[in-house]
Amino acid sequence: MNLKEEIIALSKEIGISKIGFTTADDFAYLEKSLRASIEEGRSSGFEHKNIEERIRPRLSLKSARTIISIAVAYPRHLPQQPQKTAFKRGKISPSSWGLDYHYILQDKMERLARGIEQLTQGLEYKAMVDTGALVDTAVAQRAGIGFIGKSGLVISKEFGSYMFLGELITNLDIQPDQPVDYGCGDCNRCVDACPTSCLLGDTTMNAQRCLSFQTQDKGMMDVEFRKKIKTVIYGCDICQICCPYNKGISSPPLVDIDPDLAHPELLPFLDLSNGQFKEKFGLIAGSWRGKNILQRNAIIALANSNDRSAIPKLLEIIDKKQNPVHMATAIWALGQLVKRPNQEMIDFIEGISSDNPDVLTEKEAFLKVAKNLQV
């Protein structure tokens, strides 16, 4: 076998689902769209900040000649359902089931690099996942992993879009692969299904309108998006669920998945301390944003699931005044669950004292609806 064939064989031993090779040439064609995304306020803000580094691999590794792109498929269905309890449950995106995929990909890429070092002399490399400089989807498409769909995700015939992507920028000289010869065609299912119209239909999106972004963004969630997240407290998979390439595909789990963490009980989730959250959820990808943002989402999910048993907890959150975002979100959730508040509840909300603008906005909105109902 030549070096490329040996690396492909090695990748299979490591558990890499698909591997591709491309040159370390610049991705100059991306510059216009990357700059437009920032200028038009469509970027999430989570991306690597330096555009030059995003499109020029040799700024990350001076000796770069070949980029090895890897894909690791992950399941879209839970291997088993969570236990039935008295509490309603929220949902966490499949990309955040089990151990954080950053750890999984970094481990596989390091093992791949160590294996390559046994095959050839003088390897220089830089490993990246989605927190790195390069645009993973652009690398994967050029390396033949799959095509970039209208969802903005890389899609392959073998694994659909449920793939984690990473790359090794290397100094190796390896014959590049060609992009795949299939794509979305006239299909617009993901564009039509997106509840916030964040997909622009040309593989780009307004990331700030994506529900996945909304579940990760700080501060108050805009009213427009609250009902649309339903009971999902991290991520969004609507564009993947409706994609024809994902029909009938569900890869096996990469690691053990605890279904009770994938679909956490919402009310108990609100009582987690920082330490308890870290101990229970600290190793999943969704934990990176911390407990407070996910608890904000859980409050919204309780309202969306019409869980009236949450009302005492919401009143407690409002009364304690510990977290203004939680407090304001709880006022909104209370208004969703209590369609005709009695005078005692109106007096309670009316008596809230706060100088936080979000709390005051939600208080005013609650009282306006409540008093209109009394007329």
Tell me how far apart the alpha carbons of residues 336 and 299 are, in angstroms, rounded to a whole number: 11
Question: Is the predicted pLDDT of residue 184 greater than 90, yes or no?
Answer: yes
The two tokens of residue 339 are 């369609």
Domain assignment present for 341: no
Domain assignment present for 32: yes
Q: Provide the β-strand partners of residue 167.
A: 69, 128
Domain assignment present for 321: no
Question: Is the predicted pLDDT of residue 30 greater than 70, yes or no?
Answer: yes
Domain containing residue 36: CATH number:
3.40.109
Instruction: Domain count for the chain, please give it.
Output: 1
The two tokens of residue 207 are 């990331």
307 is catalytic: no
Tens digit of pLDDT for each residue in 37-63? 999 999 888 889 899 999 999 999 999
The pLDDT value recorded for residue 373 is: 82
Domain assignment present for 269: no
Confidence tier at 371 by pLDDT (50, 70, 90):
confident
Range of the domain at 138: 3-75+95-170
Tens digit of pLDDT for each residue in 244-298? 999 999 899 999 999 999 999 999 999 999 999 999 999 999 999 899 999 999 9
Under DSSP, the state recorded for 26 is: -
Q: What are phi and psi of 125, to 5 degrees?
A: -155, 160
Domain assignment present for 368: no
Domain assignment present for 22: yes
| Helix (H) or strand (E) run with residue 232 in it | strand 232-234
Confidence tier at 375 by pLDDT (50, 70, 90):
low
Tell me how far apart the alpha carbons of residues 365 and 368 are, in angstroms, rounded to a whole number: 5
Q: Which amino acid is at 60?
A: S
Tens digit of pLDDT for each residue in 307-336? 999 999 999 999 999 999 999 999 999 999
Tell me how far apart the alpha carbons of residues 64 and 7 are, in angstroms, rounded to a whole number: 17
Active-site residue, from 100, 130, 136, 217: 130
The pLDDT value recorded for residue 91 is: 98
Domain assignment present for 16: yes
| Helix (H) or strand (E) run with residue 164 in it | strand 163-170
Domain assignment present for 121: yes
Cα-based distances in Å from 238 to 81, 173, 211, 223, 294: 20, 40, 9, 20, 19
